[in-house]
A and B are shown apart, each in its own frame.
Chain A
Amino acid sequence: MHQPHVVGAGMTRFAAHDRPLAELFGEAAVSALDDASLGTDAIEAFYLGNAMGGQIENASHLAPQLASHIGLAGIPCQRFEDACATSSNAFKHAVQAVESGRHDAVLVGGVERCTPETGLDTAEMTTQFATAMHELYEQPVGLSFPGVFGLLTDRHMHEYGTTEEQLAEVAVKNHFHGSLNPDAQHGREITVEEVLDSPVVASPFRLYDCCPFSDGASAVVVANESVAETARDQGADEPIAVQGVGHATDVVPIADKVDPGATQAARDAAEQAYDAAGIGPGDVDVVELHDCFTGAEILATEALGFFEAGEGGPAAAEGRTRLGGELPVNPSGGLKAKGHPIGATGTAQIVELVTQLRGAAGERQVEDAQVGLAHNLGGDTATTLVSVLEAGA
């Protein structure tokens, strides 16, 4: 067994980009390779996350297309699709390939375009996203993705007394963090009043409870200990160890989940990742989690074991998850403020953790961050991946 490390990381700014997928991904991939001080000759396989290029942009067979664009043609290339958890699943396979000794170094990343730059407006993109739901039991009802998490959050408010103000506090925090991240789509701070005054998208969520439509790309290089040493010798920054990746699924459709608000796949994936890393929730210093909607962040902080059931809302309102608090959550701004280009989101979480664990996050640096956790969820919470990274290991 080898010890996988992330030896290089890169991403585009998340924003509305009038640029083709190849150019966006090329920017992230080249910066990841340069960050690793490695040439393309060191890369033995390429795993790509792209969820909807086939349906949004008439673009398929993207892995070899994008590999050719950046000088990687010839090696095994593969595209992954698992809704919003797409590139975390690609990352898992890269980690396993390195761990098992199958490959010494793998380039893994994701790219997606979801803004009106694609030619699709809000209603049309809402339809594209809804294709991740069950065609018989969910799509005909007219459920949207804000609606999926609206249902889960409505139930959480009923069971635990979580309030709209507490939801708004999550948005305010993540916009503050985003204001410190030059790669974030939303760099403007907002107030609780602005959130509560914004129009409803799907109750209880208002516009500012929802992540934006985004375009962007992210990439990392995963390598074994000997390539990590070579990269270090050639001038790369500190390699960051991948100590565990958990991956679990739950039943589709949402009506069939035993306790929908528990997000059981997140609990199962977290348990796997904690066990593999030999740690517990109390050992984590910094978290990047899937805050597609403010309520999703509250559910996730409870599912990952950071707070008791019903304590996620009060914890956010008390600043416990803010930079400077006991457990900073989404210092990048999260999906909420950094942005959410579906297939690029998972590896972008890894990019942020690597930056934090190297102590290179500037104004948004989490003090003494040694252990980082990423939580990336797909579809109606049916897919979740949890990854644990550690500095100095």
Chain B
Amino acid sequence: MTDRDPQPDGGHPAGATDPTYAEWRQHLWEDQVLLGQRCHDCGHATAAPKAACAQCGSRSIERIDLPPEGEVYARTRIEIAPAEFDGPYTVALVDLGEARVLARLTGEREIGESVTLTDVYEGDLGPAPVFG
């Protein structure tokens, strides 16, 4: 254990995210759960946990489970993919109500259509949520 690991009492070192990057990946990979955060000071919620609130800078933020349902906000069909991926596939911003998340999207979906977290894409760069 190094001083950068989460502390044994479940606390996190200053400047770390709660959940940590490793915990965020693990919850998605093993439990198919998207972890997020909500700010105690301004109420801002995010699907991209950080060390402080992106809207007000507060470090008083709590870990939340995000809902597995949402609506398609915007889509792009990637035909020419980065080298680690095999195209084509669709990437979307999915609106989960309080927060948006970037995800893979299966099937032909319109903006505004309801979608559910159905799977986790396990690529070389880590897990990514799949909605359909």
Interface residues of A (CB under 8 A from B): 122-124, 126-127, 130, 134-144, 146-147, 150-152, 154-155, 158, 199-204, 251, 253-256, 260
Neighbour of A137 across the interface among B48, B76, B121, CB < 8 A: B48
Closest chain B residue to A145 by CB distance?
B82
Beta-carbon contacts under 8 Å, B25-82 to A: 25, 46-48, 54, 73-82
Neighbour of B80 across the interface among A126, A135, A152, CB < 8 A: A126
- A154 engages B74 (CB within 8 Å): yes
Q: Tell me if B's interface is mostly helix, strand, loop or mixed.
A: strand
B99 interface residue (CB < 8 Å to A): yes
B126 interface residue (CB < 8 Å to A): yes
Neighbour of A139 across the interface among B74, B93, B125, CB < 8 A: B125
Closest chain A residue to B123 by CB distance?
A140
Q: A143-B102, A202-B79 are in contact. List 7 more A-B contacts (CB 8 A).
A: A126-B80, A126-B81, A140-B128, A141-B128, A142-B81, A155-B111, A202-B76
Closest chain A residue to B124 by CB distance?
A140
Instruction: Give the one of B82, B83, B99, B103 with max A CB within 10 A.
Output: B82
Our count of residue pairs bridging A and B at CB distance below 8 angstroms stands at 121
Q: What are 27 A-B contacts defined by CB distance under 8 Å?
A: A122-B80, A123-B82, A127-B83, A130-B82, A136-B48, A140-B125, A140-B126, A140-B127, A141-B102, A141-B128, A142-B82, A142-B85, A143-B76, A146-B78, A146-B80, A147-B91, A154-B111, A155-B74, A155-B111, A201-B79, A203-B76, A203-B77, A255-B47, A255-B99, A256-B47, A256-B54, A256-B99
B16 interface residue (CB < 8 Å to A): no
Given A126-B82, A260-B93, A141-B76 contact (CB < 8 Å) = no
- A155 engages B82 (CB within 8 Å): no
A137 to B111, CA, bound (A): 21
- B100 engages A142 (CB within 8 Å): no
Given A136-B21, A141-B121, A200-B77, A255-B84 contact (CB < 8 Å) = no
List the 4 closest A-B pairs by CB distance, nearest first.
A150-B76, A140-B126, A203-B77, A142-B85
Interface residues of B (CB under 8 A from A): 21, 24-25, 46-48, 54, 73-85, 87, 89, 91-93, 99-104, 111, 121, 123, 125-128
A126 to B84, CA, bound (A): 10
- A255 engages B102 (CB within 8 Å): yes
Min CB–CB distance A149 → chain B (angstroms):
8
Residues of B within 8 A of A137 (CB): 47-48, 101-102
Residues of A within 8 A of B78 (CB): 142-144, 146-147, 150, 202
- B128 engages A202 (CB within 8 Å): no
Residues of A within 8 A of B101 (CB): 137, 255
Neighbour of B93 across the interface among A122, A126, A135, A255, CB < 8 A: A255
Residues of A within 8 A of B100 (CB): 255-256
Min CB–CB distance A249 → chain B (angstroms):
11
Closest chain B residue to A137 by CB distance?
B48
Min CB–CB distance B92 → chain A (angstroms):
8
Closest chain A residue to B88 by CB distance?
A200
Residues of A within 8 A of B123 (CB): 140, 142
Neighbour of A200 across the interface among B48, B79, B103, CB < 8 A: B79
Min CB–CB distance A162 → chain B (angstroms):
13
Residues of A within 8 A of B99 (CB): 255-256
Residues of A within 8 A of B85 (CB): 142
Min CB–CB distance B65 → chain A (angstroms):
16
Closest chain B residue to A159 by CB distance?
B111
- B91 engages A142 (CB within 8 Å): yes
Residues of A within 8 A of B111 (CB): 154-155, 158
Min CB–CB distance B122 → chain A (angstroms):
9
